[in-house]
Amino acid sequence: MTAPSYWRERKYRYRLIAKYCRNCDKKYYPPRLVCLRCGNDKLEEVELPRKGTLITYTWVTQPPNEFAAYAPYAIGLIKLDDGTLIFAQLTDVDYEELREGLRVEAVFRKNV
């Protein structure tokens, strides 16, 4: 990553920042520049709640090469407390603990 792109994107790191269309009351995560419903290009930034509920999940045992060191790992679809759906890696959880409806909280880590 270049220094200019690091500074440009720094506020999005370690936070769940979405774009919000006031016309449609619709949030986009990952953020978009234009609303898919109405074409509004004046979307506002909003921080999403960090807590939510696990909707569904799966274990990845055959990841792409760049993620091979992390395998096996779980990924899941999470409904945040404001209703926004996000797809994320699930960490700090054992195989036996994972279940639909599990309460989860976002954590952010530096990739080193």
**40 near Zn ion (CB under 5 A):** yes
38 versus 71: smaller Cβ distance to Zn ion: 38
**DSSP classification of residue 71:** -
Grouping H, G, I as helix, E, B as strand and the rest as coil, residue 8 is helix
User: Under a CB-based contact definition with an 8 Å cutoff, are residues 89 and 74 in contact?
Assistant: yes
**24 near Zn ion (CB under 5 A):** yes
What's the gap between Cα 28 and its chain centre? 11
Task: Give me the least distance between CB of 37 and Zn ion, in Å please.
Answer: 4
**10 near Zn ion (CB under 5 A):** no
36 versus 71: smaller Cβ distance to Zn ion: 36
